[in-house]
Amino acid sequence: MGQQPGRERAEVIALAAALLALAQAGAVAAQPAEAGALAPKPLFRDPVHDGAADPSTVYDPQTREWVMFYTSRRADLAMEDARDVRWVHGTVIGIARSQDGAHWRYGGTAAIPASCTGATLWAPDVERFDGQWHMWVTVVPGIYRDWNAPRFLVHLTSPDLKRWTCGERVELGSDRVIDASVVALQSGGFRLFFNDERMNKAIRTADSTDLVHWTVKDRLTDTPGEGPKAFRWRGRWWLVSDAWKGLLVLSSADGERWTRQPGYLLAEPGIAPTDRAKGQHPDVIVAGDRAYIVYFVHQDGEAEAQANPDRKRRSVLQIAELKEVAGQLTVDRNAPARVRLVPPAPARR
């Protein structure tokens, strides 16, 4: 009698994982230490609810550590109805810390005041401007069984990444706004990239001179998506966002006129255990001439999820190095990720 298809698939996956492990072992021996620390797969797994997602990473000059803020989804919550999405509500913002960007330890949860937020916190964006830390976090004012709820952004500030003070609710002319990414413009002022769910989940922008009052601009994308991450690298602006079939990429020379890159990054599942699903909601860490993409991966491609469908809700964080080839971003998620982060220079803003 022939082998069952499920067993054949498992054997193929095991063989691919073994070959990858051999390649990584060879890479460790072949690469000099200055190439960077070899990151494990997964990069980080939330020890509380096993649902790490939506990362935002910064360097803390006080502790000389890299600090990652992320959505701590309640992926281990028992659900009788597959349509019930309470597991992505009631979420806090988790923290992970690292000395080298490759090896991370759990650092508890962010002390975000409930008085100006709500029961559900998603997708933090943490930035440092004018010597102060800022966080924009998505707030859902409750715990819901479905996706039909208001959502908005709240701005907070902190002197040390530990104590957060309420700022203001960001007014963007919509009651369904999520996923902030804020950058300082070279010409002065700031730009906010966000997802407006009332406009078919288009990525939109808004500009500000004070990080409080925002002037909303037109949509940036004509396709739905979420989790935008804007950054400047190698003399250009880039925007990477989650299109639910991989990551959409846009680039711009001036930050005003954007060109869409063909295809999607991280659309094809990886071959390593814990990385066998599409990449979602990214962060990008620019480290001099190098850049790294941190993304989350659902665990529906793992053997545990085949035996127990509830396991597919679990998610982990992974990292890979970005490459720029002829004006386009590429990434090989199966290549060993050697991480060498350099603290950013003090910003003008």
Query: Rounded CA gap, 56 and 137, in Å?
Result: 11
Residue whose C-alpha is closest to residue 275's, from 321, 317, 338: 317
The alpha carbon of residue 322 and the mean position of all alpha carbons in its chain are separated, in whole angstroms, by 14
Neighbours of 23 (CB within 10 A): 13
3-state secondary structure of 111: strand
pLDDT tens digits for range 215-246:
999 899 988 999 999 999 999 999 999 999 99
pLDDT tens digits for range 260-301:
999 999 999 999 999 999 999 999 999 999 999 999 999 999
Average pLDDT over all residues of the chain: 91
3-state secondary structure of 197: helix
The alpha carbon of residue 116 and the mean position of all alpha carbons in its chain are separated, in whole angstroms, by 24
Count helices and strands in the chain by DSSP H and E runs: 2, 22
pLDDT tens digits for range 21-68:
545 545 444 455 568 999 999 999 999 999 999 999 999 999 999 999
Interval 78-103 mean pLDDT: 96
Residue with more model confidence, 26 or 124: 124
Contact 134, 122 (CB under 8 A): no
State residue 20's pLDDT score.
54
Domains of the chain: 31-339 (2.115.10.20)
pLDDT tens digits for range 312-345:
999 999 999 999 999 999 999 999 999 999 988 7
Query: Rounded CA gap, 305 and 88, in Å?
Result: 18
Query: Rounded CA gap, 50 and 87, in Å?
Result: 11
State residue 16's pLDDT score.
52
Query: Rounded CA gap, 264 and 267, in Å?
Result: 6
State residue 15's pLDDT score.
52
Q: How would residue 347 be classed by pLDDT, with cut points 50, 70 and 90?
A: low
From residue 200, alpha-carbon distances to 22, 138, 144, 196 in Å are 45, 18, 21, 7
